[in-house]
Amino acid sequence: MEELKMRKIGIIGLGHVGATIAYTLVTKGIADELVIIDTNDDKTTAEEYDLRDTLARLDTFTKIIPQDYDSLSNADVVITAFGNIDSIKMDGDRFGELNFNTAAVEEVAANLKTSGFNGVLINISNPCDVVTTLLQQQTGLSKAQVFGTGTFLDTARMQRAVGQALHEDPKNVSGYVLGEHGESQYTAWSTVEVKGHPITKLAEEKGLDLTSFDQQARRGGWLVFSGKHYTCYAIATCAIKLAQAVLSDARLACPTSVYLEEYGHYIGYPAVVGRKGIIEVNSISLPIEEKAQLDNSAKIIKEKLNK
């Protein structure tokens, strides 16, 4: 009997986000094998044992494999969450991590290539759209196989902000935040509905200030960041939902950081996620002014890419 494959997930970067993802994959029994990798050996050992010590209290089992790129050769999904939180200034720009992470991309991509990894790569590292673009270029994986969490998180925050204002479950709010996972992101209000009703109509009727919701989505992370010096739970939850869609070929329709031919790089836009990564870009018709916002956001990503 040959060695049969199990559900194997790798996490590269064990800061608060990577560690939270590792913990969640173990505590929910989602991963059968979990490869955890970080530049800090002691930190990795610490996370390894904090996770192993949970196993006697869980009904599921996960094999924890520390610091082993080779083991990623047959992984289903790798999630990149490297970064240097200390390099983020409180000016609210996720590009603070750019220099640090550009260097990290080269190392991670080279290691992934050497490992023979050929699954789906989900990037969280910031600036998300830039790093995702670089990871795709440098790993040699296809554009379908690589994508970023992008505005999937910002959309969740917009759903929360709108839901909170209207006393609704965030899941009753549909629609998209598009563009850069960064300051130039924007809510495409033409796509947003609350329980099936266009929000633009509700806004008129109830005198809602949509720009404040947009601001809450954009600045939501900084509210969290300023109180705890990092954010982890919402972003981890987004990444895991995407990973599960890959594992079960769920064809999840959602905004992510996806490669658009039109711009020549990754950017937050609706897509469909399945076993092979991005199954489909879900093209939508945007009003002229919302399309202009997307173009503008793409331009900003491009500029940073060119640095």
Q: List residues forming the annotated binding site for NAD(+).
A: 13-18, 38, 101, 124-126
The CA–CA distances, whole Å, from 229 to 15, 89, 104, 153, 297 equal 12, 11, 21, 18, 26
Selected binder of a second copy within 58, 90, 110, 292 (CB under 8 A): 58
Handedness of CA 197, 200, 203, 204 (dihedral sign): negative
Question: Nearest 5 degrees, angle CA 58-CA 63-CA 68?
Answer: 145
Number of amino acids touching a second copy (CB under 8 A): 95
Cα separation, 33 vs 29, in Å, equals 10
3-class DSSP state of 265: strand
What are the strands of the beta sheet with 186-194, ordered from one edge?
173-178, 186-194, 197-198
The interface region with a second copy, picked from 97-105, 124-132, 172-180, 289-297 by CB under 8 A, is: 172-180
DSSP-assigned letter for residue 61: -
**Closest distance to a second copy from the beta carbon of 33 (Å):** 8
Check residue 62 for interaction with a second copy (CB under 8 A).
Answer: yes
Q: Does 200 bind a second copy (CB under 8 A)?
A: no
CB atoms within 10 A of CB 48: 18
Residues from 80 through 109 that contact a second copy (CB under 8 A): none
Binding string, residues 226-265; x marks residues near a second copy by CB under 8 A: xxx--xxxx--xx--x--xx-xxxxxxx------------
21 exposure class (CB count in 10 Å sphere: 0-12, 13-18, 19+):
buried
Min dist CB 46 to a second copy, Å, is: 3
Shortest Å, Cβ 75 to a second copy: 9
By CB under 8 A, is residue 214 in contact with a second copy?
Answer: no
Of these, 203, 210, 284, 286, which contacts a second copy (CB under 8 A)? 284
Tell whether residue 34 is a contact of a second copy (CB under 8 A). no
User: Does the annotation count 265 as an active-site position?
Assistant: no
Work out the end-to-end distance of the chain between its first and last CA atoms, rounded to an integer number of angstroms.
52
Among 39, 52, 100, 208, binds a second copy (CB under 8 A): 52
Binding residues: 13-18, 38, 101, 124-126
